[in-house]
Structure 1
Amino acid sequence: MNRGAAMSLPRMKPQDGVAWITGASSGIGAAVAIELARRGWTVAITARRVEALEAVAREAEGLSGRIVAHVGDVTDAQGMEGLAEAIESIHGPIALAFLNAGIAPGTKGSPVDLEGVELAMRINLFGVAKGLSAALGRMMTRGRGQIAVNASLAGYRGVISAAAYGASKAAAIHLCEALYLDSRRMGIRLQLVNPGFVDTPMTRRNRFAMPFLMSVEDGARRIVDGFERGGFEITFPRRLAWMLKVARILPYPVYFALIGHLARRQS
């Protein structure tokens, strides 16, 4: 890949191949799959529950694109490689990958919930890395492609009661930042999705106020719009994102005082 080609990365379109989404049986993954199908994509969706995947696929009936179900487990590296190979052999090259699978372990009262931390890292970080490996290897041979990783605004700084989730998302953010330039040199557009609170089955378990909560359909539209624009970070809602961007640069004494004040208000 020469320097000139690497500087003009493509924004992939439906005619370039298939879109692949992990963690697409519900929530953001399912909504993004439907939005991509609405815009003409063939979308291969992955999760462990075939019945849920097939239900999502049926929602795309009548749209200009289509959704096809492929069962897979993001914690299985060999399985992810085989799944990517199967998708390409049936539907064509993976042009766009959205590595979305993730969990938010509940807090069990212990200061360090080892089980929750290990589970969050296994899915939210290592699951992303295994998806990246499977997609990047194939895109590298073609010298083009687009990959987006779903992290979270919770990965910006440490948040009370979100140690496992926030740490895994912070690691995913770091991973994408570290891989960005190498991916660019290979002709692959790498993007980072950092949403705030979106109304999904996962966030409905929260027992605290969720500022600027938005519908999953609105979130999906913003994500797919971001795929089409092509910038590195896709983040929303804007007001919450900028508040947390400012919080990233606050000195620790100021940040901890602010977080402590907010926690007392929540209590």
Structure 2
Amino acid sequence: MNIREMDSKELYMYYASIMKELEHFDTPTVTNALATYPADTENCLGLYEPHKTAWYTDERMRCLYPELGPRCGFAVTCVYGVPGMQFSRLSFGDILEAIEESPKPVILAMKFDAPEEYRRKNAMIGDNMLTCFKQLGVTGVVGDGPARDYRGMQPLNVQCMFTGLTAGHGFMPIEAVNIPVSLCSMDLAPGEVIHMDENGAVKFSAKYLPDVLERCKRISENDAKRQAQIRTCVNAEETANAMKGIYK
């Protein structure tokens, strides 16, 4: 069936099947398919200017469970604030409702709108919260503050990326749910696709999922052939020739 002939349920099921296939590829391969080498018009979609555009996370983000491998899903976003703000209309339940209403699988993106001294010390998530999120279809969580309950969260099989670990936290009110956020150099809108692994996270529009998968397959095949060729090289000239097309 043509993608334009699918209803929303069929479309999201189709996208979910592609996301599952993309979990066989690491996030650097996905970034290569999206924007890393724009001169490669066959294998790179060229969706972003690769150096300046905020399309993937920086070195502050830490993957807590590398052994779980890559995860891919639709973004649901939330923003935590600090005690004392004059706003109390939203609650943890609003985050859960947004997850429930989103197509699956979900990657929850958590923004911490707080001064650095508060944000660096207060854990954004623990095993109780993550259990709730998993129950509603979350397969990965990414946040720009620390986490806690490392051992308690590990058996839940949900990939987690945060800036580190800490032992405690205080009350953190909810400022917003499902608005655009920026997490460690990645600008993200609700409903965009996130791919994440131990290298970091990257975002892109769901409409590109088939094209990204096609290019990831080609890139992986090309990399395997190139590296096999490099292992046969006996001098610098041969090695440099094997890398043509990537480095001059």
Give the TM-score of the pair, scaled to structure 2.
0.32
Asked which structure has the greater CA Rg, the reply is 2
What is the TM-score normalised by the length of structure 1?
A: 0.30
Select the structure with the greater relative contact order (CA < 8 A; seq sep ≥ 6): 2
